[in-house]
Amino acid sequence: MKIGPDTTPTTAISGSNAETIIVRGHDLVQELMGRISFTDHVWLLVCGTLPTPAQRRVLDATLVAIAEHGLVPSVQAARMTLAAAPEALQGAVAAGLLGCGSVILGSAEAAGRFQDGVLKAATGDGDLDTAIATTVRTYRAEKRAIPGYGHPLHKDGDPRALRLFALAEEVSVAGRHVEVARRAERMMPDLVGKPLMMNVSAAIPAVLLDAGFPLLAVKGVPLLARTASLVAHLLEEQGHPIGFRMSHAASSAIRYDGPAPDGFVADEN
Q: Domain with 115 in it: what CATH number?
A: 1.10.230.10
For the chain, the domain total comes to 2
Please indicate, yes or no, if residue 175 is contained in any of the structural domains.
yes
C-alpha 135/C-alpha 113 separation (Å) is: 11
Q: 212 and 118, same structural domain?
A: yes
Q: Which tens digit of pLDDT belongs to each residue from 5-59?
A: 777 889 999 999 999 999 999 999 999 999 999 999 999 999 999 999 999 999 9
Among residues 174, 193, 217, the one where a domain terminates is 217
Q: What are phi and psi of 238, to 5 degrees?
A: -70, -30
Please indicate, yes or no, if residue 196 is contained in any of the structural domains.
yes
Q: 117 and 36, same structural domain?
A: no
**124 pLDDT higher than 70:** no
Among residues 193, 217, 241, the one where a domain terminates is 217
Extended beta strands in the chain, E state: 14-16, 21-23, 26-27
Q: 210 and 125, same structural domain?
A: yes
pTM for this predicted structure: 0.91
Q: 213 and 111, same structural domain?
A: yes
Please indicate, yes or no, if residue 205 is contained in any of the structural domains.
yes
C-alpha 52/C-alpha 40 separation (Å) is: 9
C-alpha 233/C-alpha 267 separation (Å) is: 30
Please indicate, yes or no, if residue 139 is contained in any of the structural domains.
yes
Q: 203 and 122, same structural domain?
A: yes
Q: Which tens digit of pLDDT belongs to each residue from 98-117?
A: 988 877 777 999 999 999 99
Q: Are 230 and 97 in contact (CB under 8 A)?
A: yes
Q: Which tens digit of pLDDT belongs to each residue from 229-248?
A: 999 999 999 999 999 898 88
Among residues 217, 236, 255, the one where a domain terminates is 217
Please indicate, yes or no, if residue 33 is contained in any of the structural domains.
yes
C-alpha 204/C-alpha 28 separation (Å) is: 29
Please indicate, yes or no, if residue 237 is contained in any of the structural domains.
no
C-alpha 132/C-alpha 116 separation (Å) is: 11
Name residue 14's beta-bridge partners. 23
Range of the domain at 135: 107-217
Type of residue found at 197: M
Please indicate, yes or no, if residue 181 is contained in any of the structural domains.
yes
